[in-house]
Chain A
Amino acid sequence: MLFHLEGVTKTYGAITALDNLSVTVPAGAVGLLGPNGSGKTTLIRTLLGLIPVDNGTGAVLEMDFHTRQLDIRRMVGFAPEDECLFPGVAGVEFAAYAGELVGMRTKDAMQRAHEVLDYVGLGEARYRRVETYSTGMKQRLKLASAVVHDPKLLILDEPTNGMDPAGREEVLELARDLAHNKGMSLIFSSHLLPDVEAVCDHVVVLGAGRLLAEGRIKDLKQFHPGCFEVRLKAGPAAFARRLNNLGCTTESREDDLLLVRVPDGHSQQTIWQAAADAREQIRFLRPQRSTLEEIFLKAVERP
């Protein structure tokens, strides 16, 4: 079990950041979603034991976060959202320092820093000063500093912020590899839902300090039986009319997408048949599944 909270409340004056939050999350890659101001940052700080909570109990990696904060932080790596690299040191020195701050011996820290920098792909650049790095390299160095002490849980706060598509791919690849192949649990907090979907299996949605939704992504993405998404080479209007005549209901979506619901007892064969008859090219045909974005918006809109 990764972490669980029971009735945790945290207020800052008049503002309630966490409101009687109770959630249990299994080990693995977990996405943390929520609108701005929903308490994601407060939750992360609570898990790290950085802030006292008004009431409630909880445990991270089977360790109570009220009493065993230092032990928790030994097992957890945190890559914060903002810039956190101070200038004047070389990349490998920074990573080694990050390791020493956890308690590694100097030699262990240096050896491990090099190993981890190999993994994230910072080659010769590690000997250059940190202020000469590009955004992508800085994010990778942050990630390396977070895993230098081999934590069991890695918390990433908006890791792909401001990165170009190539850099984003790389960071997501690293996160996926660590979470799925190397047995590290991951908490991935982000606003970019496709990123979360690409990396995580489990998702927790917060809103106004409360738990709105929680579960495996595969389970949350329900199938809509008999509903299909269709895109043709040509415009959808004529084909939609033909399908309507056959008894299907159609709905137009953006990007020339057509949502088709076939009558009971039929399958996508009906659609293929209609396309063959009309000599239309079907370029896209998939059963409809809710996207993570739809799940999120539905969860947030609930009162």
Chain B
Amino acid sequence: MEFHEVSKWYGNVIGINKLSIKIPAGVTGLLGPNGAGKSTLLQLATGQLYPSQGRVRVLGQEVWNSPGLNRFIGLCPEQDAFYEWMTGWDFVYTCARLGGLNRPAARAAAARTLDAVGMMPNKDRAVRGYSKGMRQRTKLAQALVHDPDVLFLDEPFTGTDPVARRELMDIIRRLGAERKSVLVSSHVLHEVHTLTPNIILLNRGRLVAEGHVRQIRDLIDKHPHHIVLSCDDYRKLAGHLLTWDDVEGVRVQAREKAIVVETHAPDAFYSRLPELAARGGFDIKEVYSDDDNLEAVFKYLVSK
């Protein structure tokens, strides 16, 4: 997918503001607070909206007004709008046929996809009787049934219980491994975190950050890295670390027998650490960074 200086506004209200981005193969997470423009981006990418400015391309072609491209695109929308009287099987089979498969191919594809999402035991019940998790799985099935190259998933895990979520995540990761492009938009950060380290962060219609989470974190220099070290002799360790140049501050967590080190040069810090732990006389039991994750990146980049 490629967005080239795309803007979209509705009347006076801005949806997307001069967005330029190339989304590679593999699984990418699309994040942002409410009103950031995530749904607008997805609608532009699937050709449901025409950009006010700029060009949107998927698989090399402009996506507006090219229905043939939908053969290669799969969309799992956020809204919950089924034909309630259809059975799960009917629904997925019809979507397969609409996707261009002939009857035997559609039947095989529907069976394969429903089996993959775990809906085979319930395929002959009307959608009206499905729980939220089952509806989500059926929605995912219809997005996958025509074996698309590009997949857009809008909040795919709402209402699913952890067992189903595990299975669906495995499917998505497998698709990413097959070098298909999957764009997953979600509010639940830790779900995106387990799926993929590559993210796109939007705020107020503009692109705030894109790439690998940890690389982004390294680039945020307004907030120093917080690295937690756990050691029995934590106060002595704290004193020793304060003699290092790149350490800017140390906070003591007495209850956990740990210290939190602040530094703007994590690379230098980490490279000296194994020597200290192995031969410096300190038995460092744990080391981790509690803000090297998606939640911290999100908070630092998006908070007002």
Contact = CB atoms under 8 A, between A and B. Distances in A.
B129 to A, nearest CB: 12
B interface majority secondary structure:
helix
B108 to A, nearest CB: 28
Contacts of A224: none
Contacts of A279: 271, 274
A273 interface: yes
A263 to B, nearest CB: 17
B18 to A, nearest CB: 23
A296 B132 contact: no
A167, A191, A233, A280 — most chain B CB neighbours (10 Å)? A191
Give the interface size class of chain A. Answer: 35 or more
Interface string B174-189: 0000000000000111
A272 B276 CA distance: 9
A253 to B, nearest CB: 11
Interface string A110-146: 0000000000000000000000001110000000000
A194 B190 contact: yes
The 7 A-B pairs at the shortest CB distance, nearest first, are namely A275-B274, A272-B277, A276-B274, A276-B278, A281-B270, A35-B161, A272-B278
Contacts of B166: 293, 297
A257 to B, nearest CB: 11
Given A192-B188, A269-B278, A281 B287 contact: no
Of A168, A267, A276, chain B has the most CB atoms within 10 Å of the CB of A276
Contact of A34 (B158, B161, B285, B288): B161
Interface string A259-303: 000000001110011011001111111110000010011001000
**Residue of B163, B165, B285, B298 with highest tally of chain A CB at under 10 A:** B163
B232 to A, nearest CB: 12
B247 to A, nearest CB: 16
B164 A35 contact: yes
A56 interface: no
A164 B303 CA distance: 12
B136 to A, nearest CB: 10
Contact of A284 (B278, B289, B298): B289
B34 A280 contact: no
Interface residues of B, number: 45
7 contacts: A36-B131, A36-B134, A191-B161, A191-B162, A272-B277, A275-B277, A296-B162
Given A191-B161, A297-B162, A281 B188 contact: no
A191 B158 CA distance: 9
A165 interface: yes
B12 interface: no
Contact residues of A: prevailing secondary structure: mixed
B187 A168 contact: yes
Interface string B269-304: 011011101110001111111001001001100110
Given A254-B173, A283-B289, 7 more contacts: A36-B160, A255-B197, A269-B277, A272-B278, A276-B279, A281-B271, A286-B286
B224 interface: no
Interface centre among A36, A136, A168 (most CB of B within 10 A): A36
A300 B163 contact: yes
A296 B163 CA distance: 9
Interface string A32-70: 011111000000000000000000000000000000000
B148 interface: no
B228 to A, nearest CB: 10
A90 to B, nearest CB: 22
A14 interface: no
A279 B278 CA distance: 12
Contacts of A163: 187
B15 interface: no
Contacts of A194: 190
A243 to B, nearest CB: 13
A161 interface: yes
A280 B287 CA distance: 14
